[in-house]
Structure formats: structure tokens, C-alpha cells
Structure 1
Amino acid sequence: MTDLVTLSGDTVVTTTLAIAEGTQTQHKNVLELARTYRADLEEFGMVAFGTRPRLPGQHGGGSTEYADLNEQQATLLLTYMRNSPIVRTFKKSLVRAFFQMAQRVNMRAANPLAVLNDPTAMRGLLLSYTEKVISLEKTVAEQAPDVATFHRIAAADGSMCMRDAAKALQVRPMDLRNWLISNRWIYQRPGCGGWLAYQERIQQGVMCHKINTVQRDDGSDKVVQQPRLTPKGIARIGTEWAKAAA
């Protein structure tokens, strides 16, 4: 059973997986709804998309993509779903779960000694800490070669087109392009065939534009912008993919 709410840092979140399970809706439909209304959801913070291994018994292979949603985002997403009895019941459960988790977080922050006096809580904290240390050590060992490669790329000069960047990352160009679209690195203007980098990504130094002038058949000049990934951007993507695969 998927946890209804969890902590992501200091933020209480739910997932599209939990919403799909609680509303008895196919997860692909919930995820598509989150993508469709992503701009609305991101008025309440960035939507974090991620992947996790499929659970035993789930159909398909590989990993499952999902999105983390804070309380406001989850509430808004549920308003875009058909208000059936199942959805209404789940809404109440989710509101209650968010409230209860927020209360627990506030109590721990106000009185950290309460955890020390609770053997069950202490045992859970120690077990969680030990598991995280073991997992982190394993991840560091497994990712060390890739991370070293990404650091070398980040220190390099020059930028790459999407095809060359995909080759450097050892993925299909189509897969890289789809990732860049879904994570809001590139977009297309209506009526235009070419891709453009979001200004936010340019300011972050992970993408840039290469401007070329080509000649039309009638002899006139046409200015074409090509989005390119900087070494910093390639290293960032590679590091995020390595973490997601861990």
C-alpha cells in the first residue's frame, strides 16, 4: 500500500501514485492530469517528478514515473477530477493525513526531547538513519565512476546540441528530448517547428542558444536559434539520472 503522505525535507507531500490508489484511478491518468495542469500546480511551488522501481506484481518493466505534490498542489489536482463518492472520501482522508503529519512535525520541532523519551520513536529513527547510511554508501560506490565523468564534463568548455549531448549521456536523442520537455528545459512556440530553451534554464547556466543565419531559397536570410546544453547542464542531467536509478 502506498503511503498517503510523507516528508520530503521539511515539506509534507503526497504522490500521484497515492492519489491514483486512493481514488481508484489509473496512475497514468493522474500523472497526465498533473502534466496537463502543471502550470496551475506550480503556482504553489515546483512540481517534482521522479521515478521509482515498480513494485512486485505491477505490470510492465523498468521504473514508474510519478510526481510529488504538496498539500495545495494535491488539493488543486483533486478539484480537476470527477467529484465521485470515492474521490470525495479520499479528499477527506488526504486532508486529515496532511493535518496529522503537520501536527507530528510541529510537535517534534517544539519538543525534540519527546523523541528521546519514546523508545519506539528512537528505534525508528535509528533504524532509518542506519538504512540511509548503508544506502548512501552503496550509492556513492556505484555512482563514483559516473559522477567523476559528469564532473569532467562540467569542467569542459563549449556546449552541445541535443544529439551530441544524448551521445555523451549514452541515451537515445528522443529520450533526452522528452526529458527536457517534461522537465521544462525546452519548449516550442505555437506555429514554430524549432525548440527553444526556457529563460530560467539559460539563467541557471545549464542551457544556451546558438544563433545561425541560413539563406532561404529566395536569397533572403533567416535567423535560426538552436538550443544547446552547456557542460554544466549535461553534468546536472547525468547526476539526476544517476540518483533516480539508485
Structure 2
Amino acid sequence: MSVSIATTSLTMSSREIAELMGKAHRNVVRDIEKMLNVIGKDVLNFEHIYHDSYGRDQKEYRLPKNLTINLVAGYRPDLRLKIIDRWLELEQQAQPRVPTTLSEALRLAAEKAERVELLEPKAAALDAISQSQDDLGVRDAGRELGIGQTRLARLLIERRWACREGSRSKLKAAHYGLSNGYVRFVTRCYTDPHTGEDRLSDVMVLTRKGLTRMAETVAKEGIPA
């Protein structure tokens, strides 16, 4: 009898990276956002919310191994080694348990069956959460559609998916776009450049449904970049 326990994808949080590097978390967050923008990754796909010691929602990023190593490539060698050693430790801990006796195999099988039973009621909720990973900001959506951020912003306003309160104000989701599920708000944390304080802000993103609908519109009408 052969029994192994499957593991989820390993990630390392920006808070753990900051602790290992001896850096302020906000500086690591800044480095991560800069890196993700340079390599064309949507930061929202790696963003998570945690509660600080005061119970407030705060932002962190969780990176897979390749992006973690890429992030610290420019750091000092001794700091990079700390990250590499930590990843080796995480990977070793995540190795599947292989039973060596029949009783151990039966015990592992029972544990696995119990976990499956507990997780099944949550399957629908997990599916809904995974869909949000496809949401894209206006810049990344414009790049994926091949029409650019500025042109996409105009289309969003023309089709009443979004609006601006002033000529230079931030793009906001409009009722029509929200009610049809084309756009939605996500809360992001940012550092005020004037005060250095962490603040929360609502940011509009396109859902996968909205991105698909907009792609159909661009293709049908032949909208130029």
C-alpha cells in the first residue's frame, strides 16, 4: 500500500522576506510591486490581506519560489543565502510523507479522508475565490487587449462601465459596470509619499467577464490602439 499527502503550492510572504532581509515591510512591498510591473505580472494576483496587531486590514504579497529568488537577486549575497536556505527548509517540510509500515499507511489514509471530508463543503467558495485571480487593473487589461490603458479607459467611460468625477480624477467603477459584473472594486494598501503612512484605497479592476466582453467589442468594432 502506498499513500502520500498532496501539498499546496509553496509561497513566501513579503513579511517573512522583510524579516529575513532585515528590511522594513513597506520597502519590500515597494520592491515587489516594482518587480511585478517590470516583468508584466498583475500585482493583484499575489496580493493578500492580513490583520495587524490592531486588527486592521493590511496588504502583503505572497510569492512563489521563482519570483522570490528574482526579487532578492539584487540583494547582498548573505541576504540571498538566507532566502535560499529558507526555501530549502520549506520544500523539505512539504515533502510528502511516505509510510514505512502498514499501520502508518492506514493512519495516513484516514487523515487524508478526514481532510477531504472537511474541505468538500468549502469547494464552491474556493472556486469563487479562484476566479478573482483573473481580475486585471486597467493598465494590464489594456495591455492584454492590445489597445493600451488610455484607449481602454475611454471605452470604459463611453460604455458606462466606469466614470470620473473630474477631468483628472481616478477612474471609478460605475453602476452599470458593477451591476453587470464587468468591473469591481478591490481594496489595496499604499504608502503615502508625503507622510510615509500606510493607507487603504479602493481600486477598480476588470473581471474576467468584463475582459471577455470588452475583447468581443474590440474585435467586433475593430477599435484601433
**Under a length normalisation based on structure 1, what TM-score does the superposition of the two structures give?**
0.44
**Under a length normalisation based on structure 2, what TM-score does the superposition of the two structures give?**
0.47
